[in-house]
Structure 1
Amino acid sequence: MRLRARNDIEIQCDEPCPLVAILRPRSGANQWVLAERYEIAPWVPASEYIDGFGNLCQRYTLPQGASRVSVESEVEVEDQIAIDRHAPQVPVAMLPDETLMYLLQSRYAPSDKMEERARAIVQGCAPGYPQAERIHDWIRENLDYRYGVSKESTCALDTLECGAGVCRDFAHVGVALTRSLQMPARVVVGYLLGLEPMDMHAWYEVFIGGRWFAFDATQDAPRGGRVRVAHGRDIADVAFLSNYGPLEIKRMEVSVAEV
Structure 2
Amino acid sequence: MWMHTSCSLDFQIPVATPFLFMLRPRSGWQQWVGREQYVLSPSVSAVEFTDPFGNLCQRLVAPAGRFSVHTSVDVESAEASDTAPGAPFVEVQHLPDETIPFLLPSRFCESDRFTEMASSIGSGWAPGYDQCAAIVDYIRRTKRYTPGSGQQIISAGEVNEQTHAVCRDMAHLGIACCRALSIPARMVVGYLENLEPMDLHAWFEAYLGGRWFTFDPTQSDLQGGRVAIAYGRDAADVAIYTQFGAPVELLRMEVTVERRPAPRF
TM-score range (shorter-chain normalised) is over 0.9
Map of 2:257 onto structure 1: 256
| Equivalences for residues 122-141 of structure 1 within 5 A | 122-141=122-141
Residue deviations 1:172-207, cap 9 Å, x none? Answer: 000000000000000000000100100000000000
SS state at 2:186 partner: strand
Map of 2:18 onto structure 1: 18
Whole-angstrom distance in 2 between the partners of 1:199 and 1:135: 25
One-letter amino acid of the structure 1 residue matched with residue 102 of structure 2: Y
Structure 1: gaps of 5 or more residues: none
Whole-angstrom distance in 2 between the partners of 1:119 and 1:237: 27
Q: Is the 8 A contact 1:2 1:75 kept in 2?
A: yes
C-alpha RMSD of matched pairs (Å): 1.0
Identity %: 46
- TM-superposed CA distance for 1:58, in Å, is 0.7
Map of 1:168 onto structure 2: 168
Map of 1:97 onto structure 2: 97
Residue deviations 1:140-196, cap 9 Å, x none? Answer: 111111256544241111111012110000000000000000000000000001001
> What is the TM-score when the length of structure 2 is the normalising length?
0.96
Residue deviations 1:62-112, cap 9 Å, x none? Answer: 000101100000000111111111210000000000000000101111000
- TM-superposed CA distance for 1:22, in Å, is 0.3
**243-252 or 89-98, which moves further after superposition?**
243-252
**244-253 or 207-216, which moves further after superposition?**
244-253
| Equivalences for residues 33-112 of structure 1 within 5 A | 33-112=33-112
Whole-angstrom distance in 2 between the partners of 1:191 and 1:98: 24
Structure 2: gaps of 5 or more residues: 261-265
Q: How many residues align?
A: 259
Q: Where do 4+ consecutive residues of structure 1 move more than 3 Å?
A: 147-151
One-letter amino acid of the structure 2 residue matched with residue 23 of structure 1: L
Pair 1:233-2:233 in alignment: yes
- TM-superposed CA distance for 1:12, in Å, is 0.9
SS state at 2:228 partner: strand
